[in-house]
Every structure is written in structure tokens, then in C-alpha cells.
Structure 1
Amino acid sequence: MTRTAVVLLTRDLRVHDNPALATACANADRVVPLFVLDPRLGDLSPNRSRFLHQSLADLRASLRERDGDLVLRAGDPIEETLKVAREVGATMLGLAADVSAYARKREARLRAECDQDRIALRLFPGGTIVDPGALRPSGGDAYRVFTPYHRAWTGAKWRDEVATPRRIMLPEIAVGHLPEIPHGESPEAAPGGETEGRRRLTAWLRGIATYGEKHDDLPGDGTSRLSPYLRFGCLSPLAVADAALTLEADPFLRQLCWRDFYYQVALAFPRLSTAAYRPGANDEWRDDPEALRHWQDGRTGVPIVDAGMRQLRAEGWMHNRARLITAAFLTKHLGVDWRHGVRWFFRWLLDGDVPNNSGNWQWVAGTGNDSRPYRRFNPIRQAHRFDPDGAYVRRYLPELAGIDGPAVHEPWRLPADLRRTVDYPAPLESHRDEAVWLRP
């Protein structure tokens, strides 16, 4: 009897270390790698839509190299998946586990439909290094603070990477056409796909030893920039971690652990994007659409903040230190609700996802998992520390390119005659803290 399996690909757009795909190929005679384009998600982020379509094109090429193909459908993911499964007579459906509310509703609906059709639904790991539900504190459903989670994560046993399928036998089925790759909004956004992700990983590993000392250097840009490829599963987080572990790159491993940490938080607290994780903590916000718009446009009058916001628009990505600074400015200085920041970042970021985007915003706002919820970020102190010569600011704020050295961080302190020649706004008024950094 010929056994046929369908693998519903979601955020595991790769052939290397893909447990769902590898298991299907090992246990079935015919395998249908399937991706369903959900029109409800298509307008959330033009940048991510472009990255997704590039990743799908690359995945199709990789599958065709193994005699398979990527089957594409558009519509409701559950309805389209069951149509394909019934068409090919599948007895198994494989799916990578995920933690968002959208993913969990999809899983519940799929399970109900598969039970009716007597199709075995199997969930597989692969989105994180350690499964989100694997580590639990005594007496709790999830770790609320990072440090004890990191200790548990460091001692956890990781799964083994799975082999890449050598050949994929596809049943007779129309594969569907990949739509034209849409235009994103960020002209300098990185291209998607496993091939590009693996190329960048190889290059990154050559300099990973300096990550600990350089990852906060804004102009040096010493971060990996692998987050979009992890977000879409173009890279296996386990494979990235295994490579870092071999090179004894503990500072980078710690950042990967932060990613796993927020996934287990999101699993336990599905409303992470919309509700304060710590109710009552720092949760009184101002309604100031004009201030929000200036922040979104990179026109707050604080160069280090505006540089980060301009980088976001240009690249669909922002340096992690700049993310902290810009988020703290919106919430701690302007007093604007962190949920506005979540939505704006989610629109533009290639790596935007629920656990990390929302978790980090709540951490900065003091409503989330920070053990010091009243933490403050002085933007000018941050600028002088992490962009000491102002190179990062000048890179993204051409109107300030003529100001040499660290003076670019405080244009309001320039001599009056020079200040009048600069087309740059005065700093927005601070509403949460006394803006001592504005004083001459």
C-alpha cells in the first residue's frame, strides 16, 4: 500500500533540519510539501510579504533539486490543506508546532478536521532550540524571568538535527504558480530564502568570536542579522545554536536563548501583543497621535532615536540596541502606549513575530518580563556610549551629516548660527521623566 503524507509548511521554509519534512520522507512513499497563502495575512507587512515570497521561490528550487516540488494554494489554510490531503489520499499530515494564537487556532481546527477524515496529524519541533513547553519552573506554567530560564535552558538536552531528504517523491498533483514577488516598503531590505540565510550564517560564523564585545556597537553593526531567517524558518535555530556551541560563542547563544524564552512566555500568555503581562505596572498611557507620528517618521528631534526609526523604514530591520532606545523613548519619555510600538514594528520588521516583538516591547515598557520594570534609558547617554563618534546617526540622518563628532547627538546645543542652518526639529517634550539630558 502506497503511503502519502502532506507536510504543511508554515514557518519552516527550509530543507535542512526540517523535522516535519524529514519524518514524512522517511515514513511515506509520497510526500506533498504544501504552503497555503492566507489572504488575511497578506497586508500585515509588505516587507515580510516580499521576504516570504522570496523564501518560497528559494524553497521550491531546493525541493525541485530533490525531484520534489512546493505545492502552493491560496485561501483558508485548513480548507486548502484538507482539500490537498483528500486529493492525494494522505494518511498523515505533518506540521511544525508554533505558539501564536493564530497558529494554535489553526492547529485546533486541523486536528478536528483530521480526526473526522482519519488523517494522523503530527506536530514537530523546529521553531525553537528547546520546545516552548519543555522547561517549567516548579509550581508554574512558564518562566517569568529570563535568568532562571537561561539556567534551565543551558542544562537542557537538545534534540539532534535531522538529515536533509535526498529525494522527495511527489504524487500526481497540480503544484500551483508562485505569484509575482510583491514590492516591500523598505528599499534596502535583505532578501529572503534558505540559500541566502545559509550564506549569511557561514559568513557570520567567521566573526562570531567578537560578538560579545561588538554586538552593541551601533555603527559597527556587529550583530548577526539572522533574525528574519530564523523568523521564517529559513534557518533552523537548532542548527545555528549547534554551530555557535561548537565555536564556544556563549554571548550569542544567550541571545538565542532570549528568543526561546519569549516563545515559552507567548505559549503561556497568548495575549502578549495586546495585554500587559504584569497588570498595573507602568500601565497608564497618554493619547498623543502627533507625538506618535513624529516618532514613526523619525522626527522626534533626538538624533539617536530618529536614526533607529529611519533605519527601520529603510531596511525593514533595526539594530537591537536601537530597538531598546526607540522603544524606551516612546514609552518612558513620551508616555505613549507600547501597543502602538508593537504594531508599528510589526508592520516594518522582516523578523516581526508575536513572541519576540511583543515580548521585547513589554520588557522595555515595564509591563512584561523585566525584573526591573521601572528601568530607564537615557537616550543621549546611550548615544554617546554606543555611537561615540555619531557615525550611526549620520548614516541615517543626512540632514545632520555636516555635524562632526559626538556633537551630532545634541544639535540643540550647537551655536545659534549653526543651529539655524540645520533642518532638524527640536526635541519632543518628555511626559514621563524630567528630560535632564536636554539641559545645556
Structure 2
Amino acid sequence: MRTAIVLFTRDLRVHDNPALATACATAEQVVPLFVFDPALAGRSPNRDRFLHQSVADLREVLRGRGSDLVVRSGDPVAETIRLAGEVGAEGVAAAADVSNYARRRERRLTAEGERHRLSVRFFPGLTIVDPGLLKPGGGDHYRVFSPYHRAWTAAKWRAEASLPKKVPLPPGVEVGRLAAEPAGESPDAARGGETVARQRLRGWLGNVETYEDGHNDLAGDRTSRLSPYLRFGCLSPLEVAHAALRKPGSDPFVRQLCWRDFYYQVAYAFPEISTKAYRRGATEGWKSDGAAFDRWREGRTGVPIVDAGMHQLRREGWMHNRARLVTASYLTKDLGVDWRLGLGEFYHWLLDGDVPNNSGNWQWTAGTGNDTRPYRRFNPERQRERYDPSGSYVERYS
């Protein structure tokens, strides 16, 4: 193949990027492309800013390899086809995804590719094990985590894609200007990009063996904080898992990466995960209490650990996982408010907000999802006593 386009979506990296690696190995010229999609903009100012930073960093990384990133704005399918005509491309490579929107985009791109005689291929890379690959006997996906974890651990993982030494961009391509960085809402939000992500990963690997003992320590903040970088593909989850497994005592951390894969395969099989109860027969007699919901989302419930979690969310665009469980449980189990409202609030603020994990975890906590104990409740006072006994977390985010 002479010329191929690599359409970046949620794989904003050059390391272990199967679509990019394959294009560079099989085409004489490669055109990296990112399209800012207006249909996805404005849902979260925090993620809009993080995305812009990640795209800007990807452009710089590609320039360091003698290439560049073509930037467009509009419908990704239309812009890809248009660019293919401009550069005489014969093929398009992109990462596969699981959300309803992403899968519609894939179907449209495939159809337009056929119409314009373009080869269109989708590659793995957003998860460690492809969604839909592991299936229990008699079912299309795993509904319970423990058997999935056993199958996932025993599965043969793909090899990491090689890092292209050069990305040969055709001469004369109009790469486009990157618009000004949008303003986010959280003043202490992490910065996006593969460069920052890899720095953070290297720093975290020195502490991964303490994850099991410390990941629930709210004040200690001893988690990796890699989730936003995994969400946008600034890091390969496979590379993260391989790097962690080279360290002693890393299994509990890698198990969390398996949880991420678990919800991706759930969302792949149940695309309505953001809007409909996953568990058949789930009770959904939610209260209509707008005032209670407003107090919760603004961190004014009067329950210290709940309010601290919501303050952290607004300040950083991120929340400690233990606090996520407590705040979600309080909204659904104590206040009786619909989990979809909480999901939307988290989705607005979180840098790592995505369909599979945000929706799956909210349903798990609300008792409508994959939890085998749907009536589980996290008592906020007991959680504070156990995971923030000194009150440091509550004080930090008061």
C-alpha cells in the first residue's frame, strides 16, 4: 500500500498503538489524523481541555519522528474520506471501541470506505483483552467479575505493537492549526498527553508494590491516577500491565486493569449501559428529590466524607475510588436518587469519565448492575473511620 491514514480517536499515543504500527509497516506513506468532533464537544469542559492537551502533545511527539498530526474539525467519517481523496490514500486504520457512538462511527466509516474503494481496518488497543473475546459457556459475555478475572488471567495477551522509528508523512499535506486550548472547570486537573502519562507511569511503578495496602487510604492518595490517560489512550493498558507485572506485588493493581476490561466487555454486550438497568428485575423506585440531589452534587449534604469527595471531584476533575463508592452509595442507597443523575454529574466533571467504567460502576453501586450483592450499602461514617481515621482527607477537601 502506498498511502494510509491513521485515524486517532481514543488512542492518543505512539507507543503500543497497533493501528499506527501496522500502517507504518505496510504503507509507504502514513497520514496521522485527528478530527475534533462537535458531537462530542461540550459534554465536559475538563475532558475537552484534557483532550486538547493530549492532541497537542501527540502532534509534538509525531513531529519528533519527522512527521506531524493532521488536525480537522467536523464529522470524523466525512473528514477522513475527504482527506483520503486529498492524499490519494488507499486505506484507513483506527482503533476499535465499544460505545454506541463509536460503533456507529465504525459502521459508517466501513460503509464509506467501501463506497470509495478504501480498505478500512480496526485494531485492538483500548483494552488488554479485546471485548467479546472471552465468553462463558452458553453466554455472550461475563456477567460476574470473578470468573471473568480467571479467564482474563489465563488468556493469551497480544504482543505489544512496535514503536515506529519513523512515520513517513507525504509531502505537501495541509496539517491544519490547533485551536486555542479550551478552558476547563477544575483548577487542579491533571494535564493530558502521552509525555506526561509516561512520566507518571514511571513514577508510579516505583510504588506499585504498596498498592494493595494503600489504595483505600483516602488521605494517603496512594493510587496511580493513571485512569484519565487510559481513558484517552495516552497510555496503553497492555503496556501498563506488562510494566507492572515486572514488579513484585503488582497483582492487586493489575486486577484493577482487569476490572476495566470487564466493564468494556459488559458495555460491548449491553450498549444501553448508560441508560438502562443491566440487572434484570432490578428495583428502580427512585425518589424525585431535586433539592437533595443539588446538595449532593454541590457537596452540601452535611456528611463530611461525601462532601469532601464531591469537592475533590470539582477541584481536580478526579475522585479517589473509595470516595466514588461512598458518594455514589450515599446518593442511591441513602437518598434514593436515580443513579443516572449521579452518572451524569460524574460524567460532566471526570477526566476519566467514559461509558463502560463510569456507567458500570454506577450501576454496580446502585444495585442495578453486576454486583452480586445488589443491596450493598457503604455506610459513610464507617467508611470515614476506616479509610480516613485522621480526618486528613475531609480536611483537605472541606
2:14 corresponds to:
15
Structure 1: stretches of 5+ with no match in the other structure: 398-440
SS at match of 1:40: coil
Offset at residue 168 of structure 1 (A): 1.1
**Greater shift in the superposed pair: 241-250 or 185-194:** 241-250
Contact 1:342 1:357 in 2 (8 A): yes
2:352 corresponds to:
351
**Greater shift in the superposed pair: 78-87 or 211-220:** 78-87
1:143 corresponds to:
142
Distance 1:181 1:44 in 2: 16
Distance 2:386 2:221 in 1: 14
Distance 1:106 1:8 in 2: 12
Distance 1:191 1:45 in 2: 15
Offset at residue 189 of structure 1 (A): 0.1
Distance 1:43 1:19 in 2: 29
SS at match of 1:39: coil
1:178 corresponds to:
178
1:73 corresponds to:
72
2:378 corresponds to:
377
Offset at residue 353 of structure 1 (A): 0.1
Write the deviation string for residues 127-163 of structure 1: whole angstroms up to 9, x where unpaired: 0000011100111111000000000000001111111
Offset at residue 181 of structure 1 (A): 0.7
Alignment of 1:151-190 (within 5 A): 151-171=150-170, 172-190=172-190
Offset at residue 90 of structure 1 (A): 1.0
Contact 1:129 1:260 in 2 (8 A): yes
Alignment of 1:277-296 (within 5 A): 277-296=278-297
Contact 1:4 1:29 in 2 (8 A): yes
Distance 1:282 1:215 in 2: 32
Contact 1:36 1:72 in 2 (8 A): yes
Distance 1:346 1:288 in 2: 20
Return the TM-score normalized by structure 2. Answer: 0.99
Q: Specify the code of the residue in structure 2 equivalent to 1:315.
A: E
2:300 corresponds to:
299
For the pair 1:112 / 2:111, whether they are aligned, the reply is yes
Offset at residue 279 of structure 1 (A): 3.4
Aligned residues: 396
Greater relative contact order structure (CA < 8 Å, 6+ sep)? 2
Distance 1:201 1:283 in 2: 40
Structure 2: stretches of 5+ with no match in the other structure: none
Alignment of 1:264-279 (within 5 A): 264-279=265-280
SS at match of 1:158: coil
2:126 corresponds to:
127
Contact 1:282 1:365 in 2 (8 A): no
Offset at residue 202 of structure 1 (A): 0.2
Write the deviation string for residues 104-144 of structure 1: whole angstroms up to 9, x where unpaired: 00000001100111111111000000001110011111100
Q: Specify the code of the residue in structure 2 equivalent to 1:194.
A: E
Write the deviation string for residues 10-58 of structure 1: whole angstroms up to 9, x where unpaired: 0000011100001000100110110000112110000000000000110
Write the deviation string for residues 248-291 of structure 1: whole angstroms up to 9, x where unpaired: 40000100000000000000000000000013323110111110
Distance 2:283 2:255 in 1: 27
Distance 1:367 1:86 in 2: 47
Alignment of 1:15-414 (within 5 A): 15-171=14-170, 172-248=172-248, 249-397=250-398
Distance 1:92 1:133 in 2: 25
Offset at residue 244 of structure 1 (A): 1.1
Write the deviation string for residues 296-350 of structure 1: whole angstroms up to 9, x where unpaired: 0000010000000000000000000000000000000000000001100000000
Report percent identity of matched pairs: 67
Distance 1:352 1:294 in 2: 22
Distance 1:175 1:142 in 2: 42
Q: Specify the code of the residue in structure 1 equivalent to 2:140.
A: D
SS at match of 2:35: strand
Q: Specify the code of the residue in structure 2 equivalent to 1:174.
A: E
Contact 1:364 1:370 in 2 (8 A): yes
Distance 1:376 1:181 in 2: 41
SS at match of 1:81: helix
Name segments (4+ residues, structure 1) moved above 4 Å.
none
Distance 1:10 1:40 in 2: 13
Distance 2:21 2:7 in 1: 13
Distance 1:168 1:234 in 2: 18
Return the TM-score normalized by structure 1. Answer: 0.89
Q: Specify the code of the residue in structure 1 equivalent to 2:154.
A: G
RMSD (Å), alpha carbons? 0.7
SS at match of 2:39: helix
Distance 2:65 2:283 in 1: 54
